[in-house]
């Protein structure tokens, strides 16, 4: 009698067929995705992770929703691909919206898959990368879909400061969905193809009458230059994802580890004689702080965060003697390097990130003060400037500050001065540390003498010189113990590296508390 029993070989072949269906998806939808200049979710994952390292989770998941035709369309993966792999051999978790399925819209099963991979990343202590390309909540599933976002937000918050979270925007991200990237550590965007906004152009027009395109409202350049929502913006997906890999290589896997070191052929004791010519002694002459950073770090290589937003301050990750450091530096080429609302916010968030992930902070000061003006005061410069002050005071990682030229007033204190806890403070012989500039100080201190003088301009000039000689000479702060040493600019790299090596075993405990209440 002939057997009709299904064999294990038959089942294995059936499984292979299901996997092929799940992995290939609709050819028509794939062509439509490519026609928009966009890669598919799986192509993006292949670019992000080391070749052959991806292990998918819940590939065969399907939704259980009914109504509005959903019961007739139940594709595998439910529109999101989740799993883990490696980047340069280190474990990284990832989820990627598949725009070919329901436009990447989030449903209940879709959200549950994301929740699971986020929980796995937190438990494993490994970075989480989200490749975002979705149309928001799946309307057909109603509030069940919407609640899925709440679960994502809650996990974003729980993972904050525990594992690096990186959001890569590769398509639309509208409404409540935009809050998940906003809760993560870094946001990458691609020009023309990715947009983020809470309410789209149609709603904006209906409510305010303003007409604007999607890119004009929430495109990559808008968020990289104006809103500060995006840390990085690139022209194409390939470059964007390559930079994500580079960033991951600078970050620890979690808050219990140190960032990965890398061997360096750049000598730790390399002299930087060029620094003597890069920075003018005249405090009124601008220069490019980027050139200073290039001279100090290994091989002149660094990754600038928020490069095009709040350009009067520079935040960057780099290596010195192979060890990762975070650099915060005033930029005299933009607004003379003053601190304003946006610069304070930018630097505060960067300092908090460095502190969360055990990255030592080097602060390069050339700051004439906070930006004056009605707009700044009414915009809350006190509150926003306090964010940077709070971030530095709260940071327990090694902190070294270097004063290149100006360090005036409250801005000097806020920019990691010794008085708020910098472990080491150095200055160049061109430093000017004071309550304010000599001209302004003379006008206040010697106001009566100048007013009563027969030659007020001559008297003012003479008194300015006296004030500088008495209270603003290069060794004034060092003589009072507010600067650990005045150093030759050419020795800066070796001095900083020696300080970092000494501080590598630094341990500092914060007071027992549930959490602080930082200014917002």
The residues annotated as belonging to the active site are 175-176, 410-411
Strand partners, 95: 82, 130
Nearest-Å Rg of the Cα atoms of the chain is: 27
Q: What is the b/e burial string over 444-465, where b = at least 16 CB atoms within 10 angstroms of the residue's CB?
A: eebeeebeeeeeeeebbebbbe
DSSP state, residue 94: E
145 CA to centre of own chain: 29
| Per-residue tokens: 74 | 């139940």
| Per-residue tokens: 166 | 């990186």
Residue partners of 340: CB distance under 8 A and separation at least 6: 310, 312, 370, 371, 376, 381
202 CA to centre of own chain: 31
Q: Which residue has the tokens 């990289």?
A: 224
Q: Which residue has the tokens 């350049």?
A: 221
- Within 10 A of 9 (CB to CB), how many other CB atoms are there? 8
Side-chain-side CA neighbours of residue 202 (13 Å): 2
- Within 10 A of 195 (CB to CB), how many other CB atoms are there? 24
Q: In what helix (H) or strand (E) does residue 167 lie, and over which residues does it extend?
A: strand 165-169
Q: In what helix (H) or strand (E) does residue 43 lie, and over which residues does it extend?
A: helix 41-48
Residue partners of 11: CB distance under 8 A and separation at least 6: none
Give dist(CA 175, CA 149) in Å, integer. 11
| Per-residue tokens: 457 | 């301009």
DSSP state, residue 296: H
Residue partners of 27: CB distance under 8 A and separation at least 6: none
Give dist(CA 211, CA 190) in Å, integer. 23
Nearest to 240 by CA among 231, 228, 251: 231
| Per-residue tokens: 246 | 């580079």
Give dist(CA 492, CA 294) in Å, integer. 12
């Amino acid at each position: 009698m002939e057997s009709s029993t299904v064999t294990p070989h038959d089942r294995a072949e059936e499984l292979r067929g299901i996997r092929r269906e799940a992995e290939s998806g609709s050819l028509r939808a794939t062509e439509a995705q490519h026609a928009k200049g966009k890669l598919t979710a799986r192509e993006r994952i292949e670019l992000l992770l080391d070749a052959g390292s991806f292990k998918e989770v819940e590939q065969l998941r399907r939704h259980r929703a009914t109504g509005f035709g959903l019961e007739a369309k139940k594709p595998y993966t439910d529109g999101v691909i989740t799993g883990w792999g490696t980047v340069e051999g280190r474990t990284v978790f990832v989820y990627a919206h598949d725009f070919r399925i329901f436009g990447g819209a989030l449903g209940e099963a879709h959200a549950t898959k994301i929740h699971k991979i986020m929980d796995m990343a937190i438990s494993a202590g490994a970075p989480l990368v989200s490749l975002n390309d979705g149309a928001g909540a799946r309307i057909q599933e109603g509030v069940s879909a919407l609640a899925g976002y709440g679960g994502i937000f809650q996990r974003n918050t729980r993972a904050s400061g525990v594992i690096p979270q990186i959001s890569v925007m590769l398509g639309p991200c509208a409404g409540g969905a935009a809050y998940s990237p906003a809760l993560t550590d870094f946001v990458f965007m691609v020009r023309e193809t990715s947009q983020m906004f809470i309410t789209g152009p149609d709603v904006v027009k209906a409510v305010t009458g303003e007409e604007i395109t999607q890119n004009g409202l929430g495109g990559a350049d808008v968020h990289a230059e104006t809103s500060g929502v995006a840390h990085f913006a690139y022209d194409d997906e390939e470059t964007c994802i390559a930079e994500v890999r580079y960033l991951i290589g600078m970050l620890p896997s979690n808050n219990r580890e140190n960032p990965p070191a890398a061997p360096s052929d750049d000598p730790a004791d390399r002299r930087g004689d060029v620094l003597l010519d890069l920075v003018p002694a005249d405090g009124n002459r601008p220069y490019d702080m980027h050139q200073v950073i290039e001279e100090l770090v290994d091989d002149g290589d660094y990754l600038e965060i928020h490069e095009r937003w709040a350009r009067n301050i520079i935040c960057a990750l780099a290596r010195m003697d192979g060890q990762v450091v975070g650099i915060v530096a005033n930029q005299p080429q933009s607004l003379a390097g003053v601190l304003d609302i946006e610069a304070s916010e930018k630097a505060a968030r960067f300092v908090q990130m460095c502190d969360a992930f055990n990255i030592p902070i080097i602060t390069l000061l050339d700051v004439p003060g906070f930006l004056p003006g009605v707009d700044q005061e009414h915009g809350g410069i006190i509150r926003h400037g306090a964010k940077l002050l709070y971030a530095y005071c709260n940071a327990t990682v090694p902190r070294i500050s270097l004063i290149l030229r100006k360090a005036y007033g409250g801005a000097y204190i806020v920019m990691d001065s010794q008085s708020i806890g910098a472990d080491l403070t150095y200055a160049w012989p061109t430093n000017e540390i004071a309550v304010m500039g000599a001209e302004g100080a003379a006008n206040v201190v010697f106001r009566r003498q100048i007013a009563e003088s027969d030659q007020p301009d001559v008297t003012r000039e003479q008194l300015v010189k006296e004030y500088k000689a008495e209270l603003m000479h290069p060794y004034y702060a060092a003589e009072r113990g507010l600067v650990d040493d005045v150093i030759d600019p050419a020795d800066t790299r070796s001095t900083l590296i020696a300080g970092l090596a000494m501080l590598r075993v630094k341990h500092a405990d914060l007071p027992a508390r549930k959490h602080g209440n930082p200014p917002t």
